[in-house]
Amino acid sequence: MRAGALVLALAACGPAVIAPSATQPLPPHRELAVDTTPKQRPRMMPAEVYLRAYMMWFGGLAPLEVQARARGRQLFDAWDDYLAALGLPDYRIDLPRQTQSNTLMLAAFGRLGEALCVRAVEHDLHDARTPPDQRVVFAFEPIARPSEAQFDERFDVLHRGFLGYPAALAPADRAKRYYALFTQVAAHHPAKPKTPLTGEETAWAAVCAALIQHPETGLY
Amino acid sequence: MRWWLLIVVLLVAPDSRAGRRLPEYRYFRALSIDLTGRPPTRAELAELEQPGFDLDAWIATHLGGAGYAERVRRVYMDLLRLEVGPSFAFVPNPLELRRHEILGPAGPENVYFRRGQRRVDPATDGDFCLTADETGQQFPTNAAPIGTAKPVSQATLDARTVLVKPWWLYADYRAALPSDRVAPDWSKRFPGFAPVPGLLVEPDGKTPTTQVRVCREEAQTTETGAVYASGRAGVKKGEPPPAGRLTQPPGDAGFARTNKGRAVSCLSGTGFQSSVECGCGVGLERCVPGAGFVNEPPAFVLPTHTPLGGDAPFESTPQPAAAWERLWWSEEAKHFLDKILLDDRDFRELLTSRATVVNGPLAQFYRFFAGATCCGASADLGYADPTPLVEPAAIPEALVPEDTATWLAVGDRGPYAAGILTMPIFLTKYGSRRARAHVVYSAFLCRDFVADAVRLAPSSEPDLTKRPGCATCHQTLEPMAAYFTRVMESDWTYLPADKLPMAHPACSKAKGQPGACKTIYDPAFPTTLRGAYASQGNAEAGPAGLAAAIAGSPELAPCVAETIAGSLLGRPLAPEDAAWKAELAKTFVAGGYRMRALVKAIVTSARYRDGNDARRQ
Distance of alpha carbon B606 from its chain centroid, rounded?
40
Instruction: Look at residue A97 and tell me if it is in a domain.
Output: yes
Provide the pLDDT for residue B59.
97
Which residues of chain B does A79 touch, with a Cβ-Cβ cutoff of 8 Å? Answer: 305, 314-315
Lowest mean per-residue pLDDT among B299-308, B429-438, B549-558: B299-308
Model confidence band, residue A16 (pLDDT cutoffs 50, 70, 90): low
Q: Is B410 helix (H, G, I), strand (E, B) or coil?
A: strand
Compare B12 and A50 and report the one with higher pLDDT: A50
CA distance B276 to B266: 10
Cα dihedral across residues B385, B391, B396, B399: positive or negative: negative
Q: B612 pairs with which residues across the strands? A: A40
Residue B108 bridge partners (DSSP): B103
Give the model confidence (pLDDT) of A84-132 as tens digits: 889 999 999 999 999 888 999 888 888 888 988 998 998 899 877 788 8
Cβ–Cβ < 8 Å for B455, B469: yes
Q: B212 - beta bridge partners?
A: B164
On chain B, the residues whose CB falls within 8 A of the CB of A133 are: none
Q: How high is the mean pLDDT of chain A?
A: 86
Asked if A92 lies within 8 A of B32 by C-beta distance, the reply is no
CB within 8 Å of B203: residues ≥ 6 apart: B101, B107, B108, B109, B110
Contacts of A88 in chain B (CB under 8 A): 305, 307
Residues A126, B186: Cα–Cα separation, whole Å: 37
Pairing of strands B224-226, B288-289: unpaired
CA gap A120, A140 in Å, rounded = 13
Percent of chain B with pLDDT over 90: 83
> Mind telling me how many Å the CA of B88 is from chain A's nearest CA?
10
Residue A35 included in any domain: no
Which pLDDT tens digit goes with each residue over B34-78? Answer: 999 999 999 999 999 999 999 999 999 999 999 999 999 999 999
Query: CA nearest B444: which of B362, B561, B346, B313?
Result: B561
**Average pLDDT for B288-294:** 97
3-state secondary structure of B487: strand
- Residues pairing with B112 in the sheet: B99, B214
Q: What is the pLDDT of residues B109-135, one digit of tens each?
A: 999 999 999 999 999 999 999 999 999
State the pLDDT at residue A145.
94
> Before B375, cis peptide (omega within 30)?
yes
Nearest chain B residue to A67 by CA distance is: B314
Confidence band of B615 (pLDDT split at 50, 70, 90): low
pLDDT at B283 over 90: yes
Helix (H, G, I), strand (E, B) or coil at B4: helix
Say what the pLDDT of residue A15 is. 57
Chain A hits for B305, CB-CB cut-off 8 Å, are 79-80, 83, 88, 90
**B26 close to B614: Cβ distance less than 8 angstroms:** yes
The answer to whether the Cβ–Cβ distance between A43 and B570 falls below 8 Å is yes
Contacts within 8 Å (CB) and 24+ apart, B469-475 = B473/B449, B474/B534
Phi, psi of B11 (to 5 degrees): -70, -35
A208 occurs within a structural domain:
yes
**Closest-CA residue to A40 (of B581, B611, B603):** B611
Q: Stretch B313-322: mean pLDDT, rounded?
A: 93
Instruction: Give the residue, B454 or B410, on which the prediction is more confident.
Output: B410
Residue B500's alpha-carbon distances to A194, B60, B263, B520, in angstroms, are 78, 52, 20, 9
Minimum-distance CB partner of B42 among A48, A62, A139 = A139
The reported pLDDT for the residue numbered B259 is 95
pLDDT at A213 (0 to 100): 92
pLDDT score of A212 more than 50:
yes
- Count of the separate structural domains present in chain A: 1
Domain-located, residue A40:
no
Please list, residue by residue across B37-49, b when 16 or more beta carbons sit within 10 angstroms of its beta carbon and e when fewer do. bbbbbeebbeebb
**Average pLDDT over every residue of B361-371:** 97
Say what the pLDDT of residue B520 is: 92
Size of interface A-B (CB pairs under 8 A): 129
Q: Beta strands B288-289 and B96-104: pairing type?
A: parallel
User: Is there a contact between A40 and B39 if contact means CB atoms under 8 Å apart?
Assistant: no
Q: By C-alpha distance, which of A42, A148, A58 is closest to B26? A: A42
Range of the domain at A149: 47-218
d(C-alpha B601, C-alpha B588), whole Å:
9
Locate the chain B residue with the closest alpha carbon to A137.
Answer: B42
Three-state SS letters, B313-355: CCCEEEEEHHHHHHHHHHHHHHHHHHHHHHCCCECCHHHHCCC
Q: Distance, in angstroms, between A198 CA and closest chain B CA?
A: 27
Q: Is the pLDDT of residue B3 over 60?
A: no
Q: How confident is the model at residue A34 (pLDDT cuts 50, 70, 90)?
A: confident
pLDDT tops 90 at residue B530 = yes
**B188-242 pLDDT tens trace:** 999 999 999 999 999 999 999 999 999 999 999 999 999 999 998 878 888 899 8
- How far is Cα A104 from Cα A110, in angstroms, rounded to an integer? 10
Is residue A34 assigned to a domain? Answer: no
A31 belongs to a structural domain: no
Average pLDDT over chain B, rounded to whole?
Answer: 93
Predicted pLDDT of residue B12:
39
Q: Kindly tell me if the per-residue pLDDT of B15 is higher than 50.
A: no
Answer whether residue A52 is part of any domain. Answer: yes
Choose among B452, B450, B449: nearest CA to B439: B449
pTM to 2 decimal places: 0.90
Q: List chain A residues with CB under 8 Å of B313.
A: 63-64
pLDDT higher at A74 or B223? B223
The pLDDT value given to residue A81: 82
The reply to whether A39 falls in a domain is no
Please list every residue in chain A whose beta carbon sits closer than 8 Å to the beta carbon of residue B38. Answer: 49, 52-53, 56
Bridge partners of B101, per DSSP, are: B110
**Cα B241 from Cα B68, distance rounded (Å):** 62
Whether B297 contacts B98, CB under 8 Å: yes
Whole-number Å distance between alpha carbons of B301 and B287: 18
Choose from B36, B76, B576, B612 for mutation: most chain A CBs within 10 A: B612
Q: What residue type is assigned to position B231 of the chain? A: G
SS3 label, residue B506: helix
Q: Are A165 and B22 in contact (CB < 8 Å)?
A: yes
Distance CA A94, CA B82 (A): 9
Are the beta carbons of B40 and A55 separated by less than 8 Å? no
Residues B251-260: tens digit of each pLDDT:
888 899 999 9
**Is the CB of B614 less than 8 angstroms away from the CB of A48?**
no
Contact list, B21 vs chain A (CB under 8 Å): 169
Helix (H, G, I), strand (E, B) or coil at B489: coil
Q: Which residues contact B82 (CB under 8 A, 6 or more apart)?
A: A91, B330, B333, B334, B420, B425, B426, B429
In a mutagenesis test of the A interface, which of B22, B26, B603 is the best target, namely the one with the most A β-carbons within 10 Å?
B26
Q: How confident is the model at residue A69 (pLDDT cuts 50, 70, 90)?
A: confident
ipTM value greater than 0.85: yes
Confidence of residue B505 (pLDDT cuts 50, 70, 90): confident
**B13 pLDDT higher than 60:** no
pLDDT tens for B150-166 read 999 999 999 999 999 99
3-state helix/strand/coil string of chain A: CHHHHHHHHHHHCCCCCCCCCCCCCCCCCCCCCCCCCCCECCCECCHHHHHHHHHHHCCCCCHHHHHHHHCCCCCCCCCHHHHCCCCCCEHHHCECCCCCCCHHHHHHHHHHHHHHHHHHHHHHCHHHCCCHHHCCCCCCCCCCCCCHHHHHHHHHHHHHHHHCCCHHHCCCCHHHHHHHHHHHHHHHCCCCCCCCCCHHHHHHHHHHHHHHCCHHHHEC
Angstroms from B406 CA to nearest CA on chain A: 21
CB contact under 8 A, B25 and A169: yes
The average pLDDT across A126-141 equals: 85
